[in-house]
């Protein structure tokens, strides 16, 4: 178990923009950062990161949280694992109790797959550097490819010995279960090592942890495949993984471009040469999931494959998918017989970069040139070519970009632009109809539409139009008192107001002279109704505030966003991550008139006394009704003693209620 001291140190040090920025590209927008949400597919960024509050929120799918929540959701980590990840990133020494027990337990769970792979990576690398076979076969191969020791260690390259079960036996001695070894694909069902007599290429996930391995054989063995790879597991899905993504993600963000190659050695060679924004699909056809993974960091992609027929076909295979994801794509092919690795070794880094810049063609020019050469002057082939090009252009979602490409196409192929526009429109219409039909087939029968009713637990300004939100009477001008029936306004709105103020601004100074915080002022002024909150969650906020004040703890927003109670944490994140476009309207939904400043954040000190008075008035009004009910009950039963007692109480409560109403400038409808 991680000690509370270490937990707090990790939470204090973690910068959400850096943690999230390790996984997706973020762009500054005012005080916040914006990016494409990694939790659902979207083309317009709605993923908001607030460095000031230390939170993230997607206004598309609704997911939100702090840095720890992000890692737990994105990487399927447990709470302790997410804390350790942050601790490792910021080089924080983590204090733990019962480490060995927790570590052994981790090995026996699904999360232990990572631990097994980490053990395997270290084992294979030790064999590479410290055994005769590793040095003479594996290390000599890597040196022959031009990899220096620093690069070999950086990518975790290793060597698997030839013996049938030496790795498996060593892993079992290290207390890893054979069942887990088999599940992750390192050991066969018969207890034999899966990788034998091969150089090893670990595949890293976005967090840098090994999720799978590839093995290349160096000796000639009958019927032995050149490459073998780990099977798919709970932590490794081939179609969703890219080789080198962990090492490339920052360079992809900085350069706003991704280079896509085919193999492991291409990635490693380019990295060693200082070209780090490069990933590989590892010999598989490019998938939509892999494209979306790249899109998290950049919308610009250059496909650089071998110049032979196979390389050309591979480049074209993924083209339409890249376009459909609204990415900008260029293609560069090397001279026949060359691949990125061999060409780099031949000409050096500067000439390699120069070649890419000069020869990378926009997809439309690349595909048109290629197909025009095949079609020649044959009208039938040229017609097929036009349809092929138009099919690709129709995949582009941006209408302006699509129009520009059609104009270029028409000029290149000497075809009337209107013809291409017409053909494209047909394809788009057909695609939309197909999607609509598929959606209709998949959609369940629609239920009768229900009218949303106001409730205390409903988020503010959500699902209910502002005009239908229950209103709390607000301060009118003294010359024209406002008539209000406060019995029809739900207490939950008033209660949420205090919960939000305590979460957002409880730590702020309310009165500088007495050094009183907003939280202290509110709690002191609602002592008589402190435990009368109807909503249990808002009562929790009040109780936590009281407890923190008694302990002298700093009651800033992070106190709630980092709280172990998931309900409190979620409420705090909802409060702190209101959509900027809705924030002002949400305060009006409370019935709070922002008559002094435009933004409530600058106005809470002036509004809080009025809010306290309104809140207490509603509670007194509620007690009034309860007391009146009891009084009538006693009178009807002939109990005049208790009836008269409650009659006197009612008179005092009414007087108190009317005094409060007068202070607020409202007339209460009974």
pLDDT at 576: 75
pLDDT at 103: 56
Residue ranges of alpha helices (H) inside 145-230 are 149-154, 166-173, 178-183
Statement: residue 481 has pLDDT above 70: no
pLDDT at 73: 85
pLDDT at 562: 76
The mean pLDDT of 617-629, rounded to a whole number, is 76
The 3-state DSSP class for residue 325 equals coil
How many H helices and E strands in the chain?
30, 18
pLDDT at 538: 86
The 3-state DSSP class for residue 232 equals coil
Q: Residue 330: beta bridge partners?
A: 302, 362
Query: CA dist 406 to 211, 228, 315, 608, Å?
Result: 43, 43, 21, 60
Statement: residue 96 has pLDDT above 90: no
Looking up tokens 């027990």, which residue turns up? 101
- CA–CA distance, 513 with 511 (Å, rounded to integer): 6
- CA–CA distance, 236 with 229 (Å, rounded to integer): 11
- Secondary structure letter of residue 239 according to DSSP: G
Between 492 and 20, name the one with better pLDDT.
20
- CA–CA distance, 512 with 363 (Å, rounded to integer): 64
Q: List Cβ neighbours of 398 (8 Å cut-off, separation of 6 or more).
A: 326
Are the C-beta atoms of 200 and 173 separated by less than 8 Å?
no
pLDDT at 483: 45
- Phi and psi angles of residue 63, each rounded to the nearest 5 degrees, phi first: -70, 145
Looking up tokens 């009208």, which residue turns up? 379
Looking up tokens 């084992």, which residue turns up? 123
First-to-final CA distance of the chain: 58
pLDDT at 610: 67
- Percentage of the chain surpassing pLDDT 70? 80
| Residue 579: pLDDT band with limits 50, 70, 90 | very low
Residue ranges of alpha helices (H) inside 202-302 are 245-255, 264-272, 288-295
Interval 178-191: pLDDT, tens: 999 999 999 999 99
Are the C-beta atoms of 211 and 241 separated by less than 8 Å?
yes
Looking up tokens 């106005």, which residue turns up? 603
Statement: residue 120 has pLDDT above 90: yes
The gap from C-alpha 323 to its chain's centroid, in whole angstroms, comes to 23
Interval 537-563: pLDDT, tens: 888 888 888 888 887 777 777 788 777
Q: Which of 79-88, 163-172, 365-374, 611-620 has the lowest mean pLDDT?
A: 611-620
Statement: residue 101 has pLDDT above 70: no
The mean pLDDT of 149-154, rounded to a whole number, is 96
Statement: residue 338 has pLDDT above 70: yes
pTM, two decimals, is: 0.62
Between 323 and 200, name the one with better pLDDT.
200
- Phi and psi angles of residue 471, each rounded to the nearest 5 degrees, phi first: -105, 140
- CA–CA distance, 83 with 490 (Å, rounded to integer): 40
Statement: residue 157 has pLDDT above 90: yes
Between 457 and 511, name the one with better pLDDT.
511
The mean pLDDT of 436-460, rounded to a whole number, is 40
- CA–CA distance, 34 with 28 (Å, rounded to integer): 6
């Amino acid at each position: 178990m991680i000690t509370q001291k270490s937990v707090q140190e990790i939470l204090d040090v973690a910068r959400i923009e850096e943690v999230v920025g390790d996984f997706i590209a973020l762009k500054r927008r005012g005080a916040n950062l914006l990016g494409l949400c990694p939790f659902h597919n979207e083309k317009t960024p709605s993923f908001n990161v607030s460095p000031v509050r230390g939170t993230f929120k997607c206004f598309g799918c609704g997911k939100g949280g702090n840095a720890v929540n992000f890692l737990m959701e994105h990487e399927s980590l447990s709470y302790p694992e997410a804390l350790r990840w942050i601790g490792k990133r910021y080089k924080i020494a983590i204090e733990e109790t019962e480490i060995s027990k927790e570590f052994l337990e981790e090995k026996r769970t699904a999360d232990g797959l990572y631990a097994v792979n980490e053990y395997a990576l270290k084992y294979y690398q030790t064999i590479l550097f410290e055994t005769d076979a590793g040095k003479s076969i594996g290390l000599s191969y890597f040196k022959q490819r031009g990899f220096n020791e620093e690069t070999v260690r950086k990518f975790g390259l290793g060597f698997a010995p030839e013996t049938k079960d030496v790795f498996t036996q060593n892993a079992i001695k290290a207390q890893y279960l054979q069942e887990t070894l088999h599940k992750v694909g390192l050991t066969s069902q018969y207890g034999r090592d899966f990788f034998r007599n091969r150089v090893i290429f670990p595949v890293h996930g976005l967090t840098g942890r090994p999720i799978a391995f590839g093995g290349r054989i160096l000796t000639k063995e009958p019927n032995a495949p050149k490459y073998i790879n780990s099977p798919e597991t709970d932590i490794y899905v081939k179609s969703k993984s890219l080789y080198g993504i962990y090492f490339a993600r920052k360079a992809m963000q900085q350069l706003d471009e991704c280079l896509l190659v085919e193999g492991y050695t291409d990635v490693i060679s380019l990295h060693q040469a200082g070209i780090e924004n490069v990933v590989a699909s590892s010999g598989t056809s490019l998938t939509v999931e892999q494209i979306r993974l790249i899109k998290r960091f950049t919308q610009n992609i250059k496909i650089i494959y071998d110049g032979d027929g196979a390389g050309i076909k591979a480049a074209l295979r993924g083209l339409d998918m890249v376009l459909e994801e609204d990415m900008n794509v260029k293609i560069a092919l090397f001279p026949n017989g060359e691949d990125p690795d061999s060409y780099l070794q031949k000409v050096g880094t500067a000439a390699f970069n120069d070649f890419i810049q000069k020869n990378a063609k926009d997809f439309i020019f690349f595909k048109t040139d290629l197909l025009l050469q095949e079609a020649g002057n044959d009208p039938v082939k040229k017609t097929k070519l036009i349809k092929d090009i138009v099919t690709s252009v129709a995949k582009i979602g941006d209408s302006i970009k699509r129009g520009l490409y059609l104009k270029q196409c028409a000029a290149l192929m000497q075809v009337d632009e209107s013809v291409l526009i017409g053909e494209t429109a047909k394809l788009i219409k057909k695609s939309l109809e197909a999607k609509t039909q598929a959606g209709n087939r998949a959609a369940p029968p629609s239920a009768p539409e229900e009218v949303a009713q106001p409730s205390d637990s409903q988020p503010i300004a959500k699902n209910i139009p502002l005009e239908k939100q229950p209103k709390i009477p607000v301060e009118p001008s003294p010359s024209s008192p406002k008539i209000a029936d406060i019995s029809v306004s739900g207490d939950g709105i008033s209660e949420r107001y205090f919960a939000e103020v305590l979460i957002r601004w409880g730590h702020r100074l309310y009165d500088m002279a007495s050094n009183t915080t907003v939280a202290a002022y509110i709690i002191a002024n609602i002592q008589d109704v402190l435990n009368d909150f109807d909503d249990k969650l808002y009562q929790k906020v009040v109780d936590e505030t009281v407890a923190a004040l008694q302990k002298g703890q700093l009651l800033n927003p992070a106190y709630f966003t980092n709280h172990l109670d998931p309900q409190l944490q979620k409420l705090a994140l909802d409060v702190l991550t209101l959509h900027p476009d809705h924030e002002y309207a949400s305060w009006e939904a409370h019935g709070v008139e922002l008559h002094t400043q435009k933004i409530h954040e600058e106005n809470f000190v002036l509004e809080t006394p009025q809010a306290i008075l309104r809140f207490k008035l509603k509670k007194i009004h509620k007690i009034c009704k309860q007391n009146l009910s009891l009084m009538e009950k006693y009178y009807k039963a002939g109990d005049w003693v208790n009836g008269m007692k409650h009659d006197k109480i009612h008179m005092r409560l009414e007087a108190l209620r009317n005094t409060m109403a007068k202070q607020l400038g409202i007339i209460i409808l009974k």
